[in-house]
Amino acid sequence: MSTARKQQPPPQPVTVLRGHRADVSAARFHPNGMQLLTADALGEIRLWDVETRRPLATVAAHDGRVLHVHVAASGEVLSQGRNGCVRLWEAGLEQREPSLELRTGCFNFCRLAAHAPEGEPPSRWLVALPGGDADDVGVWEMASGRRVCTLRRRPAPGSDARLGMVTSVAFESAGSATRVLVGGEDGSVCLWDTPITGKPLA
């Protein structure tokens, strides 16, 4: 007698949202849980109502692929394009033009990390993403467009290993401190405090 368990059929989606004209390259739930943001390879961002499953707004955000979207608790949206621009959009995507634009010169595929504390205005937001050099990460202030600091990864002492590109970036807040975590193509992970002295903690 066989004791093998009968394989269950895979679960089916509750719904399928249609409307994008190209492959969907980014998706994010709104913090309120009632809305959803999706973005595609043609640069379009759509805001959906989760309950009605209908689009609430659409904006042509970038020329080309959108790599990442980030939604603040206030509803404002950060979008990162493959064209090297990071843009800030008003809540609800009601405006056709971004309220802020940051030209980073970063054409890496790595998705940005956003530090947007609840209750803080966009002028206090920071974004981190790879710099012009594949080994570097720039931390930028959204409102001013100022690069706050550059994080430079370096091989271990005595090593001539190639670090490769930055492949992941993340912010982490602990009390009053803000830290940046950077993962690389070579398998290394570096951690910095901000404001930065230029030397990784680990």
Torsion sign over Cα 152, 155, 158, 161? negative
What does the pLDDT average to over 182-188? 88
Is residue 122 classed as helix, strand or coil in its secondary structure?
A: helix
202 in Cβ contact with 193 (< 8 Å): no
Digit-coded pLDDT (tens) for 15-61: 899 999 999 999 999 989 999 999 999 999 999 999 999 999 999 99
Say yes or no to pLDDT of 200 above 70: no
pTM score of the predicted model: 0.83
Amino acid at 168: S
CA-based diameter of the chain, in Å? 72
Is residue 5 classed as helix, strand or coil in its secondary structure?
A: coil
Distance CA 197, CA 202 (A): 13
How many of the other CB atoms lie within 10 Å of CB of 147? 13
Digit-coded pLDDT (tens) for 150-174: 888 877 676 676 778 899 999 887 6
Amino acid at 177: A
Say yes or no to pLDDT of 81 above 90: yes
Judging by beta carbons within 10 Å of its beta carbon (0-12, 13-18, 19+), is residue 159 exposed, middle or buried? Answer: exposed
Residue 187: what pLDDT? 87
Distance CA 180, CA 137 (A): 10
Residue 194: what pLDDT? 63
Say yes or no to pLDDT of 202 above 50: no
Residue 176: what pLDDT? 65
Digit-coded pLDDT (tens) for 95-130: 889 999 998 877 888 999 998 877 787 777 889 988
